[in-house]
Homo-oligomer: A and B are copies of this chain.
Amino acid sequence: MTDFGSDNMGTAAMEGVISTIDNELICTNLTHRIAPFDTWQASGALMYVVPFWPAGTVFVSVVDPGVGTPRRASVAKLKNGCYVVTPDNGTLTHMFYKVGIEAIREIDENVNRLKGTEGTSIFHGRDLFAYCAGKLAAGVIDFEGVGPEYPVSEVVLHDTLFNPNVQSGCAEGVITEAMKHFGNLNTNIPIEAFNAAGFSFGDMVHVTISHEGKAYFDQDVLYQKSFGFVGKGEPIVFNGSMLYVGIALNQGHFTNTYAIGDGESWKVRITKA
């Protein structure tokens, strides 16, 4: 996973470095279209995939605005048995809070840097992260071989998101992601809490989405398990794939239609209709 885009050879050079270590390793491209330098988005994106891969998987994340500066280049060992090779710059926030980091080590450049690349400092994705990840995945080094351990408490974290406020018949949270492709909205309201607050599939609920005091959406909406329970283009509240409340238009683009953004300042409030 990187923020390199898909119109260039950056990630192909990284895969070459890995293949040179062991050409039987299987590399999968997660996405290379993280917004440039957006370590918060990178952190959320890892959360979306890490739980679905087998223990032992080595994830490489290169969203690295500080490449070549003294920020740490690290390998985190997760409590689920996977590894994340990444600059320690906030990319590990979701892993820290939701998966758990068992231990973290800084990559020793003397041992785990691709030979011949010492002269350049702008492509650690190729020279450091891919190379070290390849060695780890191939068993050339073990986790101890990455470099010196440091306390998990020193992992760089983003501030956590605004906590949702879910009470009987009323759920308040924020839009964590206004998706570009399908245009669905994700919120930080856990579906379990939402249901415990008295909402059930089939209910009509009232949804208000606001930003800096202005309402961008303010309607009654059906709460159901998927999009096709309402007509084409109509809004729906549903249970998202990561078990948080989602909002969408059936085969439409909620984000664009209502000009919705995401982050802490985009508030959502759901009550019984």
The residues of A with any CB-CB pair to B shorter than 8 Å are 1, 4-10, 12-13, 15-17, 19-20, 23-24, 26-31, 33, 36-37, 45, 48-49, 52-54, 57, 65-69, 71, 117, 119-123, 126-127, 179-182, 191, 225-229, 238-243, 246, 250-251
Candidates B26, B31, B251; contact of A9 at CB < 8 Å: B31
> Shortest CB–CB separation between residue A20 and chain B, in angstroms?
4
Consensus secondary structure, chain A interface = loop
Candidates B13, B68, B120, B180; contact of A227 at CB < 8 Å: B68
* B181–A120 touching, CB < 8 Å: no
* A9–B225 touching, CB < 8 Å: no
* Set of chain B residues within 8 Å of A33, measured between Cβ atoms: 6-8
* Set of chain B residues within 8 Å of A71, measured between Cβ atoms: 228
CA distance A13 to B45 in the complex (A): 10
With most chain B CB atoms within 10 A of its CB, the pick from A20, A48, A122 is A122
* A67–B121 touching, CB < 8 Å: no
CA distance A120 to B241 in the complex (A): 6
CA distance A49 to B117 in the complex (A): 14
CA distance A225 to B69 in the complex (A): 9
* A228–B69 touching, CB < 8 Å: yes
A-B contact pairs, 29 of them (CB 8 A): A8-B180, A9-B31, A9-B49, A12-B28, A12-B31, A12-B49, A13-B52, A13-B241, A16-B53, A16-B54, A16-B57, A17-B52, A19-B53, A36-B181, A65-B250, A67-B227, A67-B228, A68-B228, A69-B229, A117-B241, A120-B191, A120-B225, A121-B226, A121-B239, A122-B227, A122-B238, A122-B240, A122-B241, A122-B246
